[in-house]
Structure 1
Amino acid sequence: MVKNFSNEYGKVIIEGEVIAQVGGIAAMECYGIVGMAARSVKDGIVTLLRRDNITKGVFVQIEGDNVDIELHIIVEYGTKISAITDNLISTIKYKLKDMLDLQVRSIKIYVEGVRVDHH
Structure 2
Amino acid sequence: MEAINTLEYGEVKIASEVVATIVGLAALEVKGVAGMSGGLANGIAEKLGKKSLSKGVKLEIKEKEVIIDLYIIVDYGTKIPDISWEIQNNVIKVVETMIGLKAMNVNIHVQGVHFPQEPAKQENQ
State the partner residue of 1:92: 91
State the partner residue of 1:46: 45
Question: How far apart, CA to CA, are the structure 1 residues paired with 2:116 and 2:26?
Answer: 19
The CA deviation string for residues 45-104 of structure 1, in whole angstroms up to 9 with x for no partner, is 011101101110101111222200100000000010011000000000001111111110
Instruction: Quote how far apart the aligned CAs of 1:12 are.
Output: 0.6
Kindly report which structure 2 residues correspond to 1:106-117, keeping only aligned pairs within 5 A, or say none: 106-117=105-116
The answer on 1:22 being equivalent to 2:22 is: yes
Moved over 3 A (4+): none
Asked if the contact 1:57–1:71 (Cα under 8 Å) also holds between the matched residues in 2, the reply is yes
Query: Residue 65 of structure 2 aligns to which amino acid in structure 1?
Result: N
Q: Which has the larger radius of gyration?
A: 2
SS in 1 for 2:3: strand
Unaligned 5+ runs, structure 1? none
Question: How far apart, CA to CA, are the structure 2 residues paired with 1:118 and 1:25?
Answer: 24
Instruction: Quote how far apart the aligned CAs of 1:33 are.
Output: 0.2
SS in 2 for 1:30: coil
TM-score (norm 1): 0.92
Asked if the contact 2:5–2:100 (Cα under 8 Å) also holds between the matched residues in 1, the reply is no
TM-score (norm 2): 0.88
Question: How far apart, CA to CA, are the structure 2 residues paired with 1:4 and 1:37?
Answer: 27
RMSD between aligned residues: 1.4
The answer on 1:56 being equivalent to 2:55 is: yes
Unaligned 5+ runs, structure 2? 119-125
